[in-house]
Chains A and B, each alone.
Chain A
Amino acid sequence: MTVLRRWSPAGLVFAVPTAFFVIGPLGFLLWMGMAQERADFFERARDLELPMVVGQVTILATLTTAWACLLGVPLAWLTVRTDLPARRFFHWLAPLPLAIPPYIGALVYQILLAPGGILPTLLGVGSLPVSLYSVAGAAWILGLFTYPHLYLLVSGALLRTNPALEEAARGAGLSPRRVLVRVTLPLLRPSLLAGALLVFLYGWADFGVVSLLRVRTLTTIIYEYVQGTLDWALPAALSMGLTAITILVLLLQLRVLGRAGYTQIVGAVKPAPPVSLGRWRWPAFAYALAVLTLTLLLPLGVLGYQASRLRASDALAFVLTQWPYFVNSLWTAVAGASLALVIALGIGWLEGRGLSRSVSGLFQIGYAIPGTVLGLGLAGFLHATLPWIYGTPLALVVAYLVLYITPACQAVKAALAQLHPSIEEAARSLGRGPLAAFRAVTLPLIKPGLVAGWLLVFVLSMRELAATLIVRPPGFDTLPVRIWIHAMDVGPEPRAAALALALVLTIALPWFLLLSRRLRGISPSV
């Protein structure tokens, strides 16, 4: 009976179709990889120096993670726990660089730092001593534009942990540094690990930045073969390898986090008295300002400057021709986010009541599939199984759903975790039906969490590039695709910059509104 209840029909209704879309593309790739001749695969794999490439990607992902930690973690501590000047302002803006997709960040820093760019021209040199076109350059960009993941998780954890623990430690005579090392950091460990792994995986599977900066990774090799040849075997085999390693890292994450355990204390926590920075107050301010400059102000400034070089007469015509692409992006992202949220809500509700299990675990695989791989597999799979979706914009909606159902599930779960089923049961005992009770009691309570989850999926879908490039139907380009075509055809020139600016602002606006609402808990600085 309990087994039956775990996999209730309602659970299956949500789980089966989504699982179909998550597993199907991988199955298709596996089949294509196996069906083709394999004789010379190993020879070519040797020529590709795959161990070297995997090593290089690992270094890239590690550097990215370290750099993102360096940017995000101190900033989180400073804004939440200290008397940093303008801390509310920083807390408000720090997550905003998520609106800038890393490949646009790479475009910006190309305009700034590449040979012939703004800085070398100002300095009067041909090129800078350190090349942007390197593993270090790619890690620099990826770290700059992924650090908000860490910032959000760590600052959230800092806001939730009970400062009484730290006070007690201080009372026991520990120096501030010892308090940090012995109490604060261990408390932050789960969120730190979660954030670091998120950034690590991003660096590991990134396509846009490494491609623009000519760093050889598994994704760029796959992409070169997809672009340049009709070969299926090699890209399919590499895709499976890439996905397998990513899933492995995710499993590791589950184990590590499982052991670390969550220590959040739910409920109202007395805000901590801010740590006085003393003479470090202004250096800390300079540091926070530097982070925001590199990740937000400078990119927006450069894009704005580059876009302003478009002649006014050209600009209007350009806007008119690009308008449809903007609309394409907007409605597919809205549809993707809405669908993901509805499914996540269904699953979250069922899982929260023990009606179905580990469905969201299955979806994690979708999150682990790099966009390039998903695009390749999804195109073939959809055409074979659901030809009425293939070749229509719905294919993009499906791609967004598969890629980003996990963040939606996490947001819903987090929102639902805060309320006990008894609240809803109370409503039912007063004579409401299950749906009515859900609508009258649960929904209003979890709405902020849902809005946040929806926005997150919307933001990620709006900026998705790798899978979109492969599954978009003829005549249905999105904004990121147009940016990509312009950037690849003629480089980071004004039109690419204008499109990038439009994309960033579209993503930033709702994100900005959301962020304005989460300033509670951060008291105004003096």
Chain B
Amino acid sequence: MSRRATLPLAIGLLALAGALAAATPPAAHASEVVIYSARKEELIRPALDAFQKDTGIKVTLLSGKAGDLGRRIEVERSDPKGDVFLGTTAGIAELLRRKGLLAPYFSAAAQEVPEEFRAPDGGWVALTGRVRVLIYNRTLVSERDLPRSYFDLTDPKWKGKVAVASMGERTTVSWVAALMALKGEEATRRYVRGLRENGLKILNNNTEVRKAVARGEYAIGITNHYYYLLQVQEDPQSPVGILYPDQGPDGIGTPVFSITAGIIKGAKHPQAARALVDFLLGAQGNRLLVQGEFEIPLIAGIPVPGEDKGVKGLGQFKKARVTQLQLADLEPRVEKLFGPFLIP
């Protein structure tokens, strides 16, 4: 064979080999679990690695945003490719449950999780909690000037100084849903309009929010509590502080959201999927999850990461009186009403 033909031939063989490898369906053995995760990959890795090591079940992770993953599950309804869905709030999980895309599972371990953090039919369950706090730049805002409430942020003194993540982050949608649940639709409309008129900046995601506040581009960020810890971990010198808003006697309290897990209906590996949910709710797995993600535990007996840095666990602050289901119910309405304003 001439030398000239070798290269195209090699290319052809490489492509063919790849295509064959791709077209052969992977053997559906029980020792695999496919996770569709909306969670930051690095943060849940330790818990998933421990699961893989403990059980010998291979973990395949598809990281994406909750909406993208939910749409996949919807498209794949007749032939699901994923086994477990991990959402960053209850919103998408609840929508999937209503469309009949999640299989109920009452894990014995789930009974430890407070009822307000579970779907009534066992379609999804919260694994860990995240608190919707304010973070602030300590060099730009002095302690006594700090806002006490989300509703202070429409004050002209914060004009152009507040940032929040876009709708691509479900926690932003959940946050507005919490306000709507507690204050009603009209008041929320007025509040969001007030924020926009006050120059609320929409950034791509919560990571940008924490970085922008740490750099002093914005004085205040509306975000989740673990972003404060992530920022301090990345740079211990960061001048960022954490603040639990609406704690006063007439305040609505600070909302808590949750990482939710649901088993996809018709999953190829239902046993492995259940084993995973059990593991992540069990003492060892939940502790790794909580520590890896800097979240707050929903199960008693697991330490709160960052307690020494001012992070509070459940029961240590005034929690907004709204269940995960209520939040999830309102999220589609929030998307419709406010989606266009929550895009960069």
Contact = CB atoms under 8 A, between A and B. Distances in A.
A489 B11 contact: no
Nearest to A384: B75
Interface in A119-145: 126-127
Given A331-B15, A332-B18, A474-B34, A229 B167 contact: yes
Given A485-B41, A489-B40, A230 B67 contact: yes
A334 B9 CA distance: 12
B67 A383 contact: no
A44 B340 contact: yes
A489 B64 CA distance: 11
A264 interface: no
A230 B170 CA distance: 11
A391 B26 CA distance: 11
Interface stretch (B128-136, B208-216, B244-252): B208-216
Contacts of B344: 214-216, 220, 224
A47 to B, nearest CB: 4
A394 B19 contact: yes
Nearest to B212: A115
Given A383-B75, A388-B23, A334 B18 contact: yes
Nearest to A232: B71
Contacts of B166: 224, 228
Chain B CB within 10 Å, residue with most, of A48, A216, A225: A225
Nearest to A332: B18
A491 B208 contact: yes
B67 A225 contact: yes
A317 to B, nearest CB: 13
A191 B114 CA distance: 67
A266 B45 CA distance: 60
B81 A474 contact: yes
B44 to A, nearest CB: 12
A44 B204 contact: no
Contacts of A220: 343-344
A474 B344 CA distance: 28
B72 A379 contact: yes
B52 interface: no
A393 B207 contact: no
B336 interface: yes
A343 B325 CA distance: 52
Contact of A383 (B19, B42, B68, B76): B76
B341 A488 contact: no
B contact patch SS: helix
Interface in A300-347: 331-332, 334-335, 338-339
Contacts of A221: 343
Interface in A200-242: 211-212, 214-216, 220-221, 223-232
Nearest to A49: B340
A116 B215 contact: yes
A473 B81 contact: yes
Interface in B311-338: 332, 335-336
A501 interface: no
A383 B22 CA distance: 16
Chain A CB within 10 Å, residue with most, of B12, B14, B68: B68
B207 A488 contact: yes
A142 B72 CA distance: 31
A334 B34 contact: no
B61 to A, nearest CB: 7
Contacts of A338: 11-12, 15
A27 interface: no
B184 to A, nearest CB: 20
B65 interface: yes
B172 to A, nearest CB: 8
Given A127-B217, A229-B335, A383-B75, A475 B18 contact: no
A40 B82 contact: no
A332 B18 CA distance: 8
A40 B337 CA distance: 10
A228 B67 contact: yes
Given A224-B166, A228-B173, A334-B15, A47 B65 contact: no
B263 to A, nearest CB: 15
Interface in A170-218: 211-212, 214-216
A127 B51 CA distance: 45
B266 interface: no
B343 A216 contact: yes
A390 B173 CA distance: 31
Contact of B170 (A228, A380, A393): A228
Contacts of B63: 485
Contact of A230 (B17, B36, B70, B203): B70
Contacts of A126: 215-217
Contacts of A229: 67, 167, 332, 335, 339
B68 A227 contact: yes
A228 B34 contact: no
A220 B166 CA distance: 11
Given A44-B339, A44-B340, A334-B11, A227 B216 contact: no
Contact of B71 (A215, A230, A394): A230
A115 B217 contact: yes
B293 interface: no
A397 interface: yes
B83 to A, nearest CB: 10
Interface string B225-244: 00000000010000000000
A503 interface: no
Interface in B22-69: 22-23, 25, 34, 36, 40-42, 60-68
A226 B71 contact: yes
A55 interface: no
Interface in B111-169: 166-169
B79 interface: yes
B76 A227 contact: no
B197 interface: no
5 contacts: A225-B67, A334-B14, A383-B76, A387-B79, A391-B81
Given A226-B71, A335-B18, A393-B18, 16 more contacts: A44-B339, A115-B212, A127-B217, A214-B204, A230-B70, A230-B74, A230-B95, A232-B71, A334-B15, A379-B75, A390-B76, A394-B19, A469-B64, A474-B62, A488-B204, A489-B40
Q: Closest 9 A-B residue pairs measured CB to CB? A: A227-B65, A47-B340, A331-B18, A335-B15, A474-B62, A214-B344, A475-B60, A227-B168, A393-B22
Interface of B: 11-12, 14-15, 17-19, 22-23, 25, 34, 36, 40-42, 60-68, 70-72, 74-76, 78-79, 81-82, 92, 95-96, 166-170, 173, 202-205, 207-208, 211-212, 215-217, 234, 332, 335-336, 339-344
